[in-house]
Structure 1
């Protein structure tokens, strides 16, 4: 559905060192190999694949904190991410890629396994997350084709699990500034260099979906001074913060929301068509952003959990 066609591109050194098979399809990271959740929490065992040109990782299963308990000890449940994780390189950077909705788009925005996705990335060694998405504009001056790199977020979702720390006491994480300042400045610079209409800052309001907003809702969002509306930016941002990951949203405006202009409002097909027309440019923008991210983090994201006692060990 609209506001939700993109996936995670994540840049950081991945450990251990991965084999380097040829890219699986155009637009994927160079030398990509696919890793699927199956049996191991950490560590990756190798086996020969169908091709002698490279070896493929065994499937491993990721552990997520569960709400159920056995005696006095919290249990962990097994939960797969949206799809297999593709790992490879963009330029000199090691990257991991997860299709947010699954490769067949089987997960609507309110059913995406957000916790599993971010946990999978952290388990692979990812520390910086770049999250492109399609959004509707709440302002007349931000037309289709504009890139907005928001600096604030408003949550209007309901019922989505939005924390890892729901066992053995509360963990309160600062979320005053939801996005990584270094990631934001890097994305803005890359968008401007790519000749996009670029908006530095703004507020993303995340709705539950999968329906679009009513005209009254859209006008209310705009009246509050919010800039764009989407369906997938939350709980991604807070889950990244709870894992001490850098998180940067790159939002492509595909249409004006229902309250901004007259007419019948946006349709699913219109959004799909516009996004398809711009997907190549978006891939280029994301790749340029990833390659420009600093390899050593100096932002506050990595220290988000300093001094906080966690109920379990992070991968």
Structure 2
């Protein structure tokens, strides 16, 4: 079965708008999980529907811990988004992954602890697989678009999601790099990727490197002024990369071969007669495909 493609871009630090959308407008939405980070900027880009959501809100009002991740994913699904491109700033644990480079993330280690990580819970229990937490088809499209944009791209990498808002100690940075084998570190891709999977939306993570975290002997601790300077260049490249996606992604798409858009098919374990009616109602947008049949 084919579906109409709609790209959703979640913009991170430094990326608060997308240029070039036709018939553009800001849309206010409400969700059972509260208000999203901001209104959502919708329109078409080269004929392909697109929705842009600034993760931290315009003016950067949300910290990584206070971002309403569930509301953001629910709101994007309400609009019909089929494919989410997550754009976020990150630090690097690898010499060859330098500030200004982009990494198409394919794995995560989740060290966050102060966030709601699932739409499901008591009264409607579900377990989805996140063994492969990003969509390989969508990730490949981002990699191709980045190369066409002239950005130095790295195809694959493990993202350590920390709670923040502080940056790492040197000891933590060395542990994540040397013992855990992580490639980049950030504060926002979790639980975002998990929630996108629960909502059956394909998800790709585009990590924009701003610094070497605090492990690098020649760069010292993270300097916020250097980060902001690199962010501005990264944001320009990210906008250019996103603008190239309609050339790569088809307007109509088949079911995801990886199964991202059918992740709930056998995931809900609570018997129908035992399900909490209020929670089920709240789940209508993200899980109505399986709950309402």
Equivalents in 2 of 1:125, 1:217: separation in Å?
Answer: 40
| DSSP-derived class of the 1:110 partner | coil
- Quote how far apart the aligned CAs of 1:4 are: 4.6
- Quote how far apart the aligned CAs of 1:298 are: 3.3
2:116 matched to 1:161?
Answer: yes
C-alpha deviations, 1:179-228, integer Å up to 9, x for none? 01111111111112222211111100111111101111111111121100
CA contact (8 A) 1:139 1:260 kept: no
Check 1:290–1:221 CA distance in 2 against 1; reply closer, same or farther (3 A cut).
farther
Of 224, 246, 255, the match for 2:211 = 255
CA contact (8 A) 1:130 1:290 kept: no
Of 151, 154, 167, the match for 1:196 = 151
Q: CA RMSD in A?
A: 2.0
Structure 2 equivalent of residue 15 of structure 1: none
Check 1:214–1:249 CA distance in 2 against 1; reply closer, same or farther (3 A cut).
same
Number of equivalenced pairs:
260
CA contact (8 A) 1:6 1:131 kept: no
Equivalents in 2 of 1:163, 1:91: separation in Å?
Answer: 34
Structure 2 equivalent of residue 230 of structure 1: 186
- Quote how far apart the aligned CAs of 1:252 are: 1.0
TM-score, scaled to structure 1: 0.78
| DSSP-derived class of the 2:190 partner | helix
Equivalents in 1 of 2:101, 2:51: separation in Å?
Answer: 26
From the two aligned structures, give the one with the greater helix fraction: 2
- Quote how far apart the aligned CAs of 1:277 are: 2.5
Unaligned runs of 5+ in 1: 9-24, 38-60, 65-78
Equivalents in 1 of 2:14, 2:190: separation in Å?
Answer: 14
TM-score, scaled to structure 2: 0.83
Structure 2 equivalent of residue 103 of structure 1: 58
2:71 matched to 1:112?
Answer: no
2:25 matched to 1:33?
Answer: yes
The within-5 A match list for 1:1-315 is 4-5=12-13, 27=19, 29-37=21-29, 61-64=30-33, 79-223=34-178, 224-294=180-250, 295-299=252-256, 300-309=259-268, 312=280, 313-315=283-285
C-alpha deviations, 1:89-120, integer Å up to 9, x for none? 11111011111000011101111001100000
CA contact (8 A) 1:31 1:88 kept: yes
Equivalents in 2 of 1:220, 1:153: separation in Å?
Answer: 15
| DSSP-derived class of the 2:193 partner | helix
- Quote how far apart the aligned CAs of 1:236 are: 0.4
Check 1:301–1:26 CA distance in 2 against 1; reply closer, same or farther (3 A cut).
closer
Equivalents in 2 of 1:303, 1:87: separation in Å?
Answer: 25
| DSSP-derived class of the 1:287 partner | helix
- Quote how far apart the aligned CAs of 1:123 are: 0.8
